[in-house]
């Protein structure tokens, strides 16, 4: 579950399908959430890079799951 694009911008899509920006989607919402969680966790507790990445994506996955649950309740 990626949550879809965080910052889609179809106007920036590369016409030849550049691998980094093939469709203008940018990063996924999961990646954005993980980055925000990582920034917060590193300010509190020093972790190894691998442990920090695992923790950041765990937070991101929990946020996406909660978001999906709330959409189901609408």
Q: List pLDDT tens digits, range 34-50.
A: 889 888 877 777 889 89
Asked if residue 11 has pLDDT above 80, the reply is no
Compute the distance between CA of residue 4 and CA of residue 1 in angstroms, rounded to an integer: 8
Tokens of 59: 């937070």
54, 38 in Cβ contact below 8 A? no
Asked if residue 21 has pLDDT above 60, the reply is no
Mean pLDDT for the chain overall? 77
Compute the distance between CA of residue 24 and CA of residue 11 in angstroms, rounded to an integer: 7
Q: What is the pLDDT of residue 19?
A: 46
Compute the distance between CA of residue 67 and CA of residue 73 in angstroms, rounded to an integer: 10
Compute the distance between CA of residue 30 and CA of residue 62 in angstroms, rounded to an integer: 10
């Amino acid at each position: 579950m990626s949550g879809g694009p965080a910052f889609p911008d179809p106007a920036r899509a590369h016409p030849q399908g550049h691998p980094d920006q093939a469709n203008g989607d940018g990063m996924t919402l999961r990646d954005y959430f993980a980055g925000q969680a990582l920034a917060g966790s590193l300010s509190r507790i020093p972790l190894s890079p691998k442990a920090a990445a695992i923790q950041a994506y765990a937070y991101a996955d929990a946020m996406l799951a909660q978001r999906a649950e709330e959409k189901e309740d609408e």
